[in-house]
Amino acid sequence: MKAAMLSKGYIDKELAPSYFLECLMYNSSNENFRENNLSEIIVNIINQFYRDNKDGSISNYVVQNEQRKLFGTGEQQWNLNSASHFISQLIKFWSEYNCLEIN
């Protein structure tokens, strides 16, 4: 999806480095994957990111080794504003190119 979002102009290359997206996905609940099709799994994941961003709990996300938080000002941390923008563009992209609604 990142490649499609880049090619269609939803995001620029610097907004969401792959490592940060991997870390974002690491924080997705296992329950999000208990669906029968990929579209529903994606919607569940996007909904979690939206809710967690809205209520602020996204700031507690960690990197895969669980030794530091994903968001912060460190060299290996993602800017929370960039992540919020990525999530909003992800929702816009998904809504425009798919038929399942994001809640």
pLDDT digits (tens, 9 = 90+) for 18-49: 999 999 999 999 999 999 899 899 999 999 99
* Confidence at 97, pLDDT banded by 50, 70, 90: confident
Considering the entire predicted model, what is its pTM?
0.90
Percent of the chain's residues with pLDDT above 90: 88
Phi, psi of 28 (to 5 degrees): -70, 135
Please give the helix or strand (H or E) that residue 46 lies within, else none: helix 38-55
Q: What is the pLDDT of residue 103?
A: 56
Q: Which amino acid is at 88?
A: S
Contact 51, 32 (CB under 8 A): no
End-to-end CA separation in angstroms for the chain: 19
Residue with tokens 């938080």: 69
